[in-house]
Structure 1
Amino acid sequence: MKNNLTSQPISTTGRVRGEQKNQRPVVIWLTGLSGSGKSSLADALEQRLVAKGCHTYLLDGDNVRMGLCKDLGFGDRDREENIRRVAEVANLFVDAGLIVITSFISPFHRDRALARSVIGDECFIEVYINTPLNECERRDPKGLYSKARQGLIKNFTGIDSPYEQPGAPDITIDTLTQSVDQSVDVVIEYLKNWDAK
């Protein structure tokens, strides 16, 4: 059946749609351990961008898992499929001219590389939320580390499934030394410089 598909050319591009909104479409891909502060930063960043008049959309890991990806588990293959779907959806939103913020653990190099390849280098900013495992466990906002340590959750990133730190992220946020507001400032400043390129 795939052999019968042909990509349909569309005259209006994501760049044109972005210009209509007076912004450059982009995906800001937040990655880090559970409890690192991804969702808090993503929410605060979107609020700041909306206050500036930007057109945004936030894709959060738990929310996507309850809808688009509710049929997936947490083994490696399902995690890969989760990120593939998210990348495709984020790419559609970029094509719509939006600034997209994604908040996903996305623990594996290959999956983040896949997301970047789907979306394209020119529209992809990788933000590594660098929070040590012991601090994430101390915070444990959802009680997941405790459950994982008791063996109640399997394939939990940082406990019995690895997190592969980004080798060269575009931005690194240290939540031990930077507040949420300071972290948002860092991303906004990067966006200003990136947008000027």
Structure 2
Amino acid sequence: MKNDNIVWHNHEVDKSIRSFMKKQRPCLLWFTGLSGSGKSTIAGAVETILAERLQHTYLMDGDNVRHRLCGDLGFSEEDRVENIRRVGEVANLMVDAGLIVLTAFISPFRSNREMVRKMLGEGEFIEVHIDTPIEVCESRDPKGLYEKARAGLIKDFTGIDSPYEAPESPEIRIQNYNISVQEAAQQVIDYLDKQGYLKPQNGAQNASIG
């Protein structure tokens, strides 16, 4: 229950100042797709390119968040909604700090993704659909999850016995098969460049990662 005695305090140093200091337009890149679609891999590749261009970022991965922030949650529909709500709230604070935030979550329900979109300002939520056919995801199955789901060892598994509601009009759609990770990541970078989220390169020295 909300306490009426709690009010929002506006600080003198705000998002616009933090954004100016970082020379970038803060946003949330929300990577969504089936398990095994390549969300985390592509998000990681995008962050590497951004780091090399000296942009200020933070990547929130679904499995990592489940270790601490959402470690008390299971995988029921209620818990999955709460998982996304918490991630959205944290990501919103990071965007307010002037960061380019990347998240990699299945987030199967459109209503949940729309809930996060509404937390942010206009143009700050960028939905990135990693559109990989389920048969391709299942052939990869890096964690053996599809095999367990098919065997009935995992219940409510997205794509098997729980639905995945694909984005209808995402800002970015990547068909992640028959292309390299770098090609997929570059599609995101190209969008950010075109829409003015990144500082102009202008021959500036890049960092070397790896």
The question of a shared fold, defined as TM-score above 0.5 by the shorter chain, is answered with yes
Aligned to 2:48: 47
Q: In 1, Cα distance between the equivalents of 2:57 and 2:31?
A: 15
Aligned to 2:161: 160
* 1:68 aligned onto 2:69: yes
Cα RMSD of the aligned pairs, angstroms, is 1.3
Question: 3-state DSSP class of the match of 1:4?
Answer: coil
Give the conservation status (yes or no) of the 8 Å contact 1:88–1:119.
no
Aligned to 2:179: 178
> What letter corresponds to residue 161 of structure 1 in structure 2?
S
Question: Alignment partner of 1:71: what SS?
Answer: coil
Identity %: 55
Q: Which residue of 2 aligns with 1:85?
A: 86
Q: What SS does the corresponding residue of 2:195 show, helix, strand or coil?
A: helix
After TM superposition, the runs of 4+ consecutive aligned structure 1 residues lying more than 2 A away are none
- 2:138 maps to 137
**CA–CA distance in structure 1, aligned partners of residues 4 and 101 of structure 2:** 31
Residues of 1 paired with 2:81 and 2:74: CA distance?
10
User: 1:43 offset after TM fit, Å?
Assistant: 0.7
- State the AA in 1 paired with 2:145: L
Q: Structure 1 residue 177: deviation in Å? A: 3.1
**For residue 194 of structure 1, what is the amino acid of its counterpart?**
Q
Unaligned runs of 5+ in 1: none
Q: Does the Cα contact within 8 Å between 1:50 and 1:56 map onto a contact in 2?
A: yes
Cα distance, 1:10 vs. partner?
1.6
Q: CA deviation at 1:194?
A: 1.3
Query: 1: distance between equivalents of 2:179 and 2:17?
Result: 36
Aligned AA for 1:21?
A: K
Structure 2 runs not aligned, ≥5 long:
198-210
- How many residues end up aligned between the 2 structures? 197
- Look up the equivalent residue of 1:65 and give its one-letter code: R
- Aligned mates of 1:116, 1:149 — CA distance in 2: 33
Secondary structure of the residue aligned to 1:148 is: helix
Structure number having the greater helix percentage: 1
Read off the aligned partner of 2:184 and give its amino acid letter.
S
- The 1-side partners of 2:149 and 2:182 are apart by 31
Q: Distance in 2 between matches of 1:120 and 1:37?
A: 27
Q: Residue 207 of structure 2 corresponds to which residue in structure 1?
A: none
Q: Judge which range, 10-19 or 139-148, deviates more.
A: 10-19
Whichever residue aligns with residue 183 of structure 1, its letter is: A
